Amino acid sequence: MSAFPVASRCRPRLRGAAVAAMMALGGVAAPVEAARAQTVAAQGGVPNQIRDTEIEEILHRECDPVFAAAGIDPRRMHLDIYQGEMNAVTFSASEEAIATDLIMRTQNPNQIIGVMAHETGHAAGGHIERSGEVEHAGMVPFLLTMGLGVLAAAAGAPGAGAALATSAGYFGELGALGYNRQVEARADQAGITYLNKAHISARGLVSFLDAFRYEEVFDQARRFPYFQSHPITSERVELLTRRAEEQPDWNKPDSPQSIAEYEIMKAKLFGFIEPPQQTFVTYKETDRSFPARYARAIAYYKELETDKALDQIAGLIKDYPANPYLWELKGQVLFESGRAAEAEIAHRRSVELKPNAPLLQINLAQAILAQEDGKRADEAIFHLKKALALEQDNSIAWEQMAQAYDAKGDGGDARLAAAEAHYAVGDMTQARIFALRARALLKRDSPEWRRATDIVLTSNPSRDDLQAMSTPSGAG
């Protein structure tokens, strides 16, 4: 995982009634329970989202051809990863999420690609925007049944009227489920179209659904979240199979590189998520493959066997010196062992090897700030600005920026950065509070002062807040 895994590209997302409506649609925005691999900590947007540059890049390399085939710019598609029971979710036309449990339960990269092709069918099909149609599909039979019940009671048949009224919810649910199955079938067919256009086999999607065909016999409470929101039936699998087998790439295998990266991704997730002893059982010492050595190094780190972890990582770096993620892991182990100066060296090397990775820039800045040398605050700010140029709403980068400005005694910019951090995760109350404090310290009409003003105005300010804003403030 990222040496600073809590760093999150967090964006305010649909909440309340909107989320409830999308949950009904199935596969479009099922409830998300997430946690980062190293430590559980709440985030805005997808809660406790896992951030890991290496895994994100692997998933994008696999799925980007599908996004492009669907007419979605891969650079604009946010692919979130979270820890939780098997599920995949579409939030919008530019944001999808996949659970670590789903990744771990797949048997090959083609299955992951297939699942995400289905989700892309939801994204490109505008199913999020039309989520109200699910409620309408259930409401029509509900109201009709209730109406028949009222008419029956008025006609002198109170028993029949009561029975109809009682069953209205059942018929409403049937109507919603029927519509939901139609949506899922459309997403299946769209997914196959995109896979075909990208010259990728649809076998993975078929085999994934077929492997869990038994889910349809479970009640909702016992099903994996994916199959609560993606109803699977034998008819659906058979229809999907017939279409998929007709595609010219049906028998096309995963490439050796794709399989190798898939095994690395699974080993890394396993090492961070599972108990260390389970990792040692699954990836035995006799297994000298890169994924197994990687998983064991992470397990030793989690077991607080720092020296063993560093020895394992040193061996990997000796064999793969240009791998930025091994240097990142070394920096993480050192940093969390209280050795910030040594961690800085490792993180600096990871940044040299991969300068355009925001999380790696944040790791380096964090290691610099942890040494508590106020004279180096500007150096940390430099790396944080590079990260924010690539991920403007990275809340942790803004938090570190606030710390850096505070270290150099720049109270106005420190409070503005804190406001940005809260704004990035949708905490408008705290964003407004810190923005107001920033305005009082920043030079009036400066770009920073104007940005603080914008945050206040877009965070539902009270009449008192607006009154305070009308009072001259700020330096100069």
**What does 302-340 look like in DSSP terms, one character per residue?**
HTT-HHHHHHHHHHHHHH-TT-HHHHHHHHHHHHTTT-H
Across residues 168-187, what is the average pLDDT?
A: 54
| Domain count for the chain | 2
Cβ atoms of 319 and 329 within 8 Å: the answer is no
Cβ atoms of 398 and 387 within 8 Å: the answer is no
Q: If you search the block for the tokens 């010219």, which residue do you land on?
A: 248
> Residue 164: inside a domain, yes or no?
no
Confidence class of residue 212 from pLDDT cuts 50, 70 and 90? confident
Across residues 249-268, what is the average pLDDT?
A: 97
Share of the chain above pLDDT 90, in %: 63
Please write the tens of the pLDDT for every residue from 425-455: 999 999 999 999 999 999 999 999 999 999 9
Q: Which two tokens stand for residue 311?
A: 């020895």
Q: Which two tokens stand for residue 312?
A: 């394992």
* Highest-scoring range by mean pLDDT, 38-52, 176-190, 448-462: 448-462
> Residue 85: inside a domain, yes or no?
yes
Q: How many CB atoms lie within 10 A of CB 288?
A: 8
Angle subtended by helix axes 203-211 and 158-197, to nearest 10 = 140
Q: Which two tokens stand for residue 321?
A: 């010196």
Looking at residue 213, its pLDDT comes to: 72
pLDDT at 245 over 70: yes
- Cβ neighbors of 373 (< 8 A, separation 6 or more) are none
| Of 213, 248, 271, the domain-final residue | 271
> Residue 422: inside a domain, yes or no?
yes
> Residue 221: inside a domain, yes or no?
yes
Query: Rounded to 5 degrees, what angle do the CA atoms 279, 31, 390 make?
Result: 75
Higher per-residue confidence, 230 vs 269:
269
> Residue 83: inside a domain, yes or no?
yes
| Of 271, 288, 314, the domain-final residue | 271
Q: φ, ψ for residue 313 (rounded to 5)?
A: -65, -40
13-17, 349-353, 394-398: lowest mean pLDDT where?
Answer: 13-17
User: Residue 434 sits in which domain range?
Assistant: 410-476
pTM as predicted: 0.78
Confidence class of residue 472 from pLDDT cuts 50, 70 and 90? low
Cβ atoms of 291 and 299 within 8 Å: the answer is no
| Of 240, 271, 302, the domain-final residue | 271
Cβ atoms of 176 and 21 within 8 Å: the answer is no
> Residue 213: inside a domain, yes or no?
yes
Q: Mean pLDDT, the chain, as a whole number?
A: 81
Higher per-residue confidence, 299 vs 128:
299
Residue 78: helix, strand or coil by DSSP? Answer: strand
Across residues 29-45, what is the average pLDDT?
A: 30
Containing 90, the helix (H) or strand (E) segment is: strand 88-92
- Cβ neighbors of 57 (< 8 A, separation 6 or more) are none
Same domain, 118 and 267: yes
32-36, 222-226, 311-315: lowest mean pLDDT where?
Answer: 32-36
> Residue 241: inside a domain, yes or no?
yes
> Residue 399: inside a domain, yes or no?
no
Residue type, 370: A
